[in-house]
Amino acid sequence: MKDSSSTSNYIKGKKYTIISVTSLIILWQLLAMWINSPILVPLPRETAVVFYNIVSSPFFFETVFTTFMRMAIGFAITFSSAVVLGMLAGFISPIYYLLKPIVTLFKAVPTMGIILLAIIWLDSNVAPILVSFMILFPLLFQNVAHGIQNIDPKLIEMASVYKISRINKIKNIYLPSIQSHLAAGISTAIGLNVRIVIAAEVLSQPNVSIGTAFQIARANLNTAGVFAWSIIAIMLVGLFELIVRLLRKSTKALD
Amino acid sequence: MMVKLQDICKSFGEIDILHRISLDIDKEEIVCILGPSGCGKSTLLNTIAGLINPDQGDIQTNIEKIGYVFQEDRLLSWKTVYENIRLVDHSKSAEVLNKLIEEIGLKGFENYFPNELSGGMRQRCSVARAFNYQAELLLMDEPFKSLDYFLRIKMLKQLINVWENEKSSICFVTHEIDEALLLGDRVIVLSNRPAEIVGSFKIETRQKDRKLNSETLVEIRSQIIDLLFESGNSI
């Protein structure tokens, strides 16, 4: 019963997604026809042709893979350091108060300022990774630290009465408790990561990257190309979310 | 003797909670602490559990494993009944755990999550978790408080069933006279706050053979009520 109702909800959800995407494409088509200037808004059909050309070009895989790896490395470094430091900060309040000003500083500096500083300090291939870290760290760190701080003290009291080992406490109480906080943070961070890594690439111009491809398309007034690369970026967000979902499933299976 | 409390006093700020409480709990004995709501019964259990320190007095104990069934079930909502019970001791075989689950009346609900269970079932799961820990002393803080009278009596009978096999010592806190009469080898009566021991009753009849309308229990019940009114209690 439960299964059939969740399947019907899933199908209903998909149906509305298709309606939403189709409406968006129709709106885009109407807007492009009304403006009638491919440099401002290209037609969906023109964008599809450019998209096909980009995807079938010999450099496509290398370009996407290189940017994807920058995003993945940036995300992995940020995620692992945010979980470790966030948990420490959640357990030990002096660490939280020591890290709080740094996190506030990361949050306060404008994204463009961080990108420019990263370009000054680092090689253009590595700069986007630092940008990713500086933007995503505060978000994930605070999710983890607040998750730990908000764990029901009664559960911790129960665990101490039953002398549950520290490792088992972390595995069975702390990690599952912060999971919901972290899940919300991860979902926001994935979209943000794709956007800021590409933004950093647009400015730092590494030899091979989606950002550089964006910049070349813009310089050639190839708006259809900018649209096509945007669609590729959206697909990257989807790919990231899929990978994270699979990783979560596999860790659950390991339990 | 497993636990010996000697002249325990505890205050929170200006409020005196426990006043010179002296109490022994013997091996395989069920001691019921009976007193009005808010008199300091939970504080007494928390002191025995080592969760709070007394201001004065001494606690002597030779036990290492204390289990605690709190007023709330304190189950992990992301774990199933089976996983919650197993949490406190991973060494038991599935067969042993399933037997315990059956005895406590949760057979068929092993894979349910706490939010899929009724309040009574969640408390049963909490009791099973405590028994799985194989504590030498089990502290129970009004575990069936939120249940109706008949369900409470049914739960007590299930508790007695499990206890007959496990035989750990139990210190059971309640404000219900019938619960204390059905369960305790000894019933200790506390006064209003600050809690003092105002009476102690030993019940020799085996738990399984007790009837609330038996002459002995009716007599003890009447004495307890008199004692509670004499000491200014109303429960």
CB-based contact B72:B130 (threshold 8 Å):
no
* Predicted local confidence at residue B75, as pLDDT: 94
Same domain, B101 and B118: yes
Q: Do A158 and B49 touch (CB under 8 A)?
A: no
More confident residue, A12 or B41: B41
Same domain, B146 and B207: yes
Same domain, B129 and B142: no
Task: Tell me if B70 is assigned to some domain.
Answer: no
- Strand-pair category, B56-61 with B30-34: unpaired
Within 69-98 of B, beta carbons closer than 8 Å to A belong to 70, 72, 74, 76, 78-79, 87-88
Task: Tell me if B88 is assigned to some domain.
Answer: yes
* Predicted local confidence at residue A26, as pLDDT: 94
ipTM of the complex: 0.84
Task: Tell me if B163 is assigned to some domain.
Answer: no
B68, B72, B76: residue with CB nearest A161: B68
Domain count, chain B: 2
Task: Tell me if B217 is assigned to some domain.
Answer: yes
Same domain, B185 and B212: yes
Distance from CA of A188 to the nearest CA of B (A): 23
Same domain, B174 and B119: no
Q: Do B133 and A162 touch (CB under 8 A)?
A: yes
pLDDT in tens, chain B (235 residues): 688 999 999 998 888 888 899 999 998 899 999 988 788 888 999 999 888 899 999 888 888 888 999 988 999 999 999 999 999 988 888 898 998 898 888 899 999 999 999 888 898 899 899 889 988 899 999 888 877 888 788 888 888 888 888 788 999 999 889 999 999 999 999 888 888 898 899 998 888 888 888 889 999 999 998 888 877 655 4
Same domain, B9 and B55: yes
User: Domain residues for B92?
Assistant: 75-135
Rounded Cα–Cα distance for residues A53 and A46 (Å): 11
For residue A213, what pLDDT band results from cuts at 50, 70 and 90?
A: very high
Same domain, B42 and B107: no
* Predicted local confidence at residue A2, as pLDDT: 47
* Predicted local confidence at residue A253, as pLDDT: 58
Contacting residues for A176 by C-beta, under 8 A, at least 6 apart: B76, B78, B79
CB-based contact B69:B127 (threshold 8 Å):
yes
* Interval A94-121 mean pLDDT: 90
Contacting residues for A158 by C-beta, under 8 A, at least 6 apart: B68, B70, B74
| Percent of chain A surpassing pLDDT 90 | 49
Rounded Cα–Cα distance for residues A139 and A182 (Å): 10
Mutate to test the interface with A, among B48, B85, B87, B133 (most CBs of A within 10 A): B87
Rounded Cα–Cα distance for residues A159 and A175 (Å): 14
Same domain, B30 and B3: yes
Omega within 30 of 0 (cis) for the link into A176: no
Distance from CA of B141 to the nearest CA of A (A): 13
A155, A168, A172: residue with CB nearest B74: A155
Using DSSP, state whether B16 is helix, strand or coil. strand
Distance from CA of B51 to the nearest CA of A (A): 8
Domain ranges of chain A: 1-36, 41-254
Res. A252: pLDDT tops 80: no
Q: Do A162 and B70 touch (CB under 8 A)?
A: no
Same domain, B21 and B51: yes
Amino acid letter, A176: P
Q: What is the CATH number assigned to the segment(s) A41-254? A: 1.10.3720.10
Residues A132-165 pLDDT 10s: 999 999 999 998 998 888 889 999 999 999 999 9
Going by C-alpha positions, the residue among A162, A63, A210, A225 that lies closest to residue B74 is A162
Same domain, B229 and B131: no
Res. A242: pLDDT tops 80: yes
Same domain, B153 and B220: yes
| Residue in chain B nearest A171 by alpha carbon | B87
Burial status of residue B3 (CB atoms within 10 A of its CB: 0-12, 13-18, 19 or more): buried
* Predicted local confidence at residue A1, as pLDDT: 47
The CATH number assigned to the domain holding B191 equals 3.40.50.300
Same domain, B91 and B104: yes
